[in-house]
Amino acid sequence: MTAASCCNGSDPKDAAREAVLENIANRKSVRAYTDEPVSDADIETLLRAAMAAPSAMNRQPWEFIVVNDRDSLDALAGKLRHAKMLAQAPLAIVVCAETMLTLRDGTVVENLFWEHDASAATENLLLAAEALGLGAVWTAASDPERSAVVCEALGITGTVKPLCVIPIGHPANPDEQPKDKWNPDKIHWNRW
């Protein structure tokens, strides 16, 4: 079923379902951008989508740093070898999370699921970017080397850690197509 066939008198739920699945299938890693800025409304939409993600025990440990300062973007591009596209991007959102939790009894423990929670938020943000017609790419920042660069550049201290830096902008090549990642060999039923 295509989006067009859904909208010709069918159930609106079918059209909504098709739109969501089409957005997921069309998500791609975009690494080249125009110089057009991303609107504040779009930035808020991206962050609202990220914060709608599931999290372990609904703790929502995520924190987001919105970077639209050209000097900061260029500094990160110069220090993160896998994020050189930041030199073109008008925007980046750094997805971070609190790595420690305070339990009800006041005990402070390691948040074992901070990377999972921040990853779910990141995927929501990437899907929202696709839905808005923006381009985005996930660049890792949780390993010690890249984490240190991001923390120093953006003043992150304490027990908050960056997971990734997401360059975002209007795609320089709007006709770029997603990769087909479907592979039935990766599916196992009931047992390995």
pLDDT in tens, 131-161: 999 999 999 999 999 999 999 999 999 999 9
Domain boundaries, the chain: 30-172
Topology at the third CATH level for domain 30-172: NADH Oxidase (3.40.109)
- Could you read off the pLDDT of 5-21 as tens digits, one per residue? 445 557 889 999 999 99
Section 110-114 average pLDDT: 97
Structure tokens at 65: 């740093």
Q: Give residue 2's pLDDT band: very low, low, confident or very high (50, 70, 90).
A: very low
In the predicted structure, residue 4 carries a pLDDT above the cut 50: no
Q: At a CB cut-off of 8 Å and minimum separation 6, what does 115 contact?
A: 97, 142, 163
| pTM assigned to the model | 0.91
pLDDT of residue 3 exceeding 50: no
**39-75 residue pLDDT tens:** 999 999 999 999 999 999 999 999 999 999 999 999 9
First to last CA, the chain: 32
Cβ atoms 53, 121 nearer than 8 A: yes
Which residues in the chain belong to E strands, given as ranges?
62-67, 91-98, 100-102, 108-110, 135-136, 139-140, 160-169
Mean of the per-residue pLDDT values for the chain? 94
Q: What is the DSSP annotation of 101-120?
A: EE-TTS-EEE-TTHHHHHHH
| Residue labelled with tokens 């059209």 | 15
